[in-house]
Structure 1
Amino acid sequence: MTQSILFVASEGLPYIKSGGLADVIGSLPKELAKSGADVRVVLPLYKKMAINDHERFDYVVSYDVNAGNIHTMANVYSEVRDGVTFYFIEHRDMFERDELYGYGDDAYRFGFFQHATCRLLEALSYFPDIIHTHDWHTAAIPFLCRTFYSYREEFRKIKHVLTIHNLAFQGVFPEHELWASLGMNYGYFLDGTARFYNDQISYMKLGILYADKVTTVSNTYAQEILTDEFGENMQYVLGLRYFDLSGIVNGIDYDVWNSETDEALAKPFGLDTIEDKLANKLALQAQFGLPQDKDTILVGVVSRLTWQKGFYLMVEKLPEMLQARVQFVVLGNGEANIENTFNYYKHAYPDKFAFYQGYNETLAHQIYAASDLFFMPSMFEPCGISQLIAMRYGALPLVRETGGLKDTVWPYNQFNQEGTGFVFSGKSADAMRMVYDYALDTYYNRPEDWKTLVANAMTKDVSWESSAKAYLDLYQSITH
């Protein structure tokens, strides 16, 4: 029987993005639709979408949303793309703002969004087999379906999957939001169901407790979040769902990330035309005023510049790292200390260090294509997408052994030339520096090994195909 699957998320490509969640929502539903499943997605209609996309959307329905302190109306629009029906919930006061998150009324905004999604199912008389929610912004939906909306058998029959993309963000709010933003009585706080950490509530906790299955975006991260180090005070709650917790690694969209058809590149290339990758290196060097030298190793970075991403390790060792024959091109923004350090080195080493402060999608594509080595020393990384793109574009990742990085980057083995990149363990800058030196030594002194590693990386399957099958198997396990 054809399954019907509804994705509910706070962001998704090609409409709106702040992080890796958007890439998943832009790619996974499309891949699942290829299997013949009825796949739909619900997103908020943000300001950027209202400006850029709204005129294309078809009006669907309007209805009242009433729960707790929420008494307002939702308008819903839709668009079909790549075989997936997207629904957009419009509420100008709540969603047409300059940023997606970080407001004092986020509990209310996403309480409304989750109730509006449930009301949408009633308005459409559409009740999917599976509702697949993502992160805290939508995590309370399994709870609401089984409490607030349990008066309808159709809601009670729906099965729920919650995917945790980053446990560091849990939707933790004051206890009064249980009523104000979810419309649920105080008893769920008193009995501990909704209560979390210092007498607050957590949307994420509700999802973990009420979903049929809980997934994360890599096998290793699924195990890490059960520990005190990575559990973010949620490890004991997750432990209750140990047998329903699993990891399915993300993929990337091969239609978007394809070095042979990428229009952003100076010259497209593939494994059979790998020599054309050099044209991208020379073009990027020229773009940033670096000496054009095809033989100097080019190290790329495309990232948020934060502690989580491991860049304090890089800051600590950068004076030493720049003594080698090397060039860095860094794209990103984040914590001021890291940005200021990179701006300093940009001026102190103009022939070796280039820094674009901010984000530029076209430039990101060009850095992946131009780089020989891709630097990603994350302290924790639920999955990570950058290392997958880098491998697809023939840039060998240098990563820390954590989360999805451990699951997707195979360390170079000098004795049999296996591997798709370079991996260090531990949390010390010295460990990172040692593997950095090893990577440079391999590039300059074992060029045939380097070519083999590039071939390994470019032929590694990092598409959504196998991951989508794993999700379909998971859905099947709870609907039959």
Structure 2
Amino acid sequence: MASILMVAGEGLPFIKTGGLADVIGSLPPELVKKGHEVRVVMPLYQKIAQNYHQDFYFEKEYSVSINYHEVPVRLYSIIKNNVVFYFIEHQGYFERDSLYGYDDDGERFAYFQKAVLEMLNQLNYWPQIIHCHDWHTGMIPCLCKEAHGYDERYRNIRHVYTIHNLAYQGNFGVEMLDSCLGLGYHLFDNGNVRYDGGISFMKSGILYADKVTTVSPSYSQEILTPQYGEHLEMVLNMRKYDLWGITNGIDIESWNPMSDPEIPYHFNKVNAQAQKKENKLALQKELGLQEDPNVLLVGVVSRLTWQKGFYLLMEKLNELCAAPIQLAVLGSGEPLIEEKMAQLEAGNKGKIVFYRGYNESLSHRIYAASDLFLMPSLFEPCGISQLISMRYGTLPLVRETGGLRDTVQPFNEYEKTGNGFSFANYSSDELINTLYFAIDVYYNRKEDWTTLIRHAMNTDVSWEKSAGTYGLLYDELLKY
């Protein structure tokens, strides 16, 4: 069994912008159940400070060098689900309206990573493995080996680096190497951290970690190609023998249709269809949709971005509006897509509803009430929404890419197998044809639809298996 420090830019139950937070909230407790000792560290953002600061334990105050100045660090901790969470506090860097997207992101997360490594020294806590997630933490393996390589305590640590989304890489100017990270320019000259005339946190993580993982087997193969590699495919191919694809799970306690406090009618595999109709009526009333328990309700809970395939949908708005369905969309993202969704609602009152923004409570009710869940992604490292929808007996309709291909088995009308619907090519024609196929099954083949719901709810979407695979990965690292 291993002692592991997870380092991430966000994590539940404290804060969330995407699927990374779900992983940080549910994987560590599952690893603890399997006997590992797991701690997590993340920045102390404004919303976390507002909601949790009074419950935190003050650990230490120390400093790290940024822009040739000693910058103070205040370290706090709290225990949740048998996992120790640490928080790096710097009000100027982290107590802002958003988590990311600022001009000084490179400096902010250089500070965070240096503060994490100095935390080990301050607490005299030396994990066997540091498991870093996404670009916000990509320099940690490099800093450990290049800046602290003289110190045996740092040198003995093994490193795992998980790519949740290769499209966000943390690319910054070369001057940061010296000013913020305290590293020599030779690492730029020899190509180790160089990317497009600057430096890349993501590339550094891929090259310096002992093992690299992605969040599904299919995505781990896709990113070795120019189509999905985001200009890092050559670097990833250098590491392909150390590259593991491990599918995400979900927290099946939080997402449980039998006990979910956010939904009005609870259900299990036996009474799913009857109770889903009751949830549907309640949601229709809540959102102003025409109340009809028998209409096919299509749900969307998503960031509204190009990655999620919404441009495909926009190519087929006439067909969508003509289909015998209702559509409930929850999300925010690109202004163009938001505007189109608002226009759709305005022209189709009672049939289409768009809730702009994010509402965690409402998302539970959409998962529970919908019959079909739409996820036509251009690419999808893993995807969590399709796992949640299956847990609630809502059949996913997805494009066959990344984790969607690994978790959704398309309905085979001859063998009566599958747990959802899927299409292969990034094509609006294929999307709309698959939607109409699903509509036909829903209205005209009731037995098949019932079978699909049962298959979906029988799909193992927990962390149990994946946590076991991470355990094998850690074991392999510790053999060195």
Q: TM-score, normalised by structure 2?
A: 0.98
| Residue pair 2:408, 2:420 contacting (<8 A) in 1 also | yes
Q: CA deviation at 1:66?
A: 2.3
**1:433 aligned partner, one-letter code:** I
In the alignment, the residues of structure 2 paired with residue 130 and residue 327 of structure 1 have an alpha-carbon distance, to the nearest angstrom, of: 48
For 1:365, the equivalent position in structure 2 comes to 364
In the superposition, relative to structure 1, how do residues 70 and 108 fare at CA in structure 2: closer, same or farther (>3 Å)? farther
RMSD: 0.9
Aligned-partner SS, 2:271: helix
Which stretch has the larger CA shift, 168-177 or 62-71?
Answer: 62-71
Aligned-partner SS, 2:20: helix
Q: How does 1:186-265 map to 2 (within 5 A)?
A: 186-197=185-196, 199-265=197-263
For 1:279, the equivalent position in structure 2 comes to 278
In the superposition, relative to structure 1, how do residues 203 and 70 fare at CA in structure 2: closer, same or farther (>3 Å)? farther
Q: CA deviation at 1:233?
A: 0.6
In the alignment, the residues of structure 1 paired with residue 451 and residue 180 of structure 2 have an alpha-carbon distance, to the nearest angstrom, of: 55
In the alignment, the residues of structure 2 paired with residue 158 and residue 307 of structure 1 have an alpha-carbon distance, to the nearest angstrom, of: 39
| Residue pair 1:69, 1:179 contacting (<8 A) in 2 also | no
Paired residues in the alignment total: 478
In the alignment, the residues of structure 2 paired with residue 96 and residue 56 of structure 1 have an alpha-carbon distance, to the nearest angstrom, of: 18
In the alignment, the residues of structure 2 paired with residue 337 and residue 68 of structure 1 have an alpha-carbon distance, to the nearest angstrom, of: 39
**2:229 aligned partner, one-letter code:** G
- 2:336 is aligned with 1:337: yes
Aligned-partner SS, 1:87: strand
Q: Deviations over 1:270-312 (max 9, x none)?
A: 1122121211000011112222111110000000111110001
Unaligned runs of 5+ in 1: none
Aligned-partner SS, 2:76: strand
For 1:110, the equivalent position in structure 2 comes to 109
- 2:205 is aligned with 1:174: no
In the alignment, the residues of structure 1 paired with residue 335 and residue 109 of structure 2 have an alpha-carbon distance, to the nearest angstrom, of: 30
For 1:145, the equivalent position in structure 2 comes to 144
Q: CA deviation at 1:189?
A: 0.6
In the alignment, the residues of structure 2 paired with residue 287 and residue 66 of structure 1 have an alpha-carbon distance, to the nearest angstrom, of: 53
Q: CA deviation at 1:70?
A: 5.0
| Residue pair 1:369, 1:395 contacting (<8 A) in 2 also | yes
| Residue pair 1:70, 1:181 contacting (<8 A) in 2 also | no
Unaligned runs of 5+ in 2: none
Q: Deviations over 1:319-354 (max 9, x none)?
A: 112212110011111112211111111121112111
Aligned-partner SS, 1:147: helix
| Residue pair 1:175, 1:200 contacting (<8 A) in 2 also | yes
For 1:454, the equivalent position in structure 2 comes to 453
In the superposition, relative to structure 1, how do residues 354 and 152 fare at CA in structure 2: closer, same or farther (>3 Å)? same
In the alignment, the residues of structure 2 paired with residue 231 and residue 304 of structure 1 have an alpha-carbon distance, to the nearest angstrom, of: 21
| Residue pair 2:187, 2:193 contacting (<8 A) in 1 also | yes
In the alignment, the residues of structure 2 paired with residue 285 and residue 433 of structure 1 have an alpha-carbon distance, to the nearest angstrom, of: 24
**1:262 aligned partner, one-letter code:** D
In the alignment, the residues of structure 1 paired with residue 163 and residue 364 of structure 2 have an alpha-carbon distance, to the nearest angstrom, of: 27
4+ runs deviating over 4 angstroms: none
| Residue pair 1:108, 1:180 contacting (<8 A) in 2 also | no
Q: CA deviation at 1:154?
A: 1.1
For 1:38, the equivalent position in structure 2 comes to 37
In the alignment, the residues of structure 1 paired with residue 127 and residue 464 of structure 2 have an alpha-carbon distance, to the nearest angstrom, of: 22
In the alignment, the residues of structure 2 paired with residue 237 and residue 299 of structure 1 have an alpha-carbon distance, to the nearest angstrom, of: 40
In the alignment, the residues of structure 2 paired with residue 61 and residue 338 of structure 1 have an alpha-carbon distance, to the nearest angstrom, of: 46
Q: TM-score, normalised by structure 1?
A: 0.98
Q: How does 1:153-172 map to 2 (within 5 A)?
A: 153-172=152-171
For 2:94, the equivalent position in structure 1 comes to 95
In the alignment, the residues of structure 1 paired with residue 78 and residue 384 of structure 2 have an alpha-carbon distance, to the nearest angstrom, of: 26
Q: Deviations over 1:24-75 (max 9, x none)?
A: 0000001001112110000100111111100100011111212553521111
In the superposition, relative to structure 1, how do residues 405 and 396 fare at CA in structure 2: closer, same or farther (>3 Å)? same
| Residue pair 2:374, 2:398 contacting (<8 A) in 1 also | yes
For 2:265, the equivalent position in structure 1 comes to 267
Q: Deviations over 1:211-240 (max 9, x none)?
A: 000000001110111110111110001111
| Residue pair 2:65, 2:180 contacting (<8 A) in 1 also | no
Aligned-partner SS, 1:272: coil
In the alignment, the residues of structure 2 paired with residue 93 and residue 341 of structure 1 have an alpha-carbon distance, to the nearest angstrom, of: 37
In the alignment, the residues of structure 2 paired with residue 70 and residue 362 of structure 1 have an alpha-carbon distance, to the nearest angstrom, of: 44
* Percent identity (aligned): 54
Q: Deviations over 1:394-419 (max 9, x none)?
A: 10000001011000100000011110
**2:435 aligned partner, one-letter code:** Y
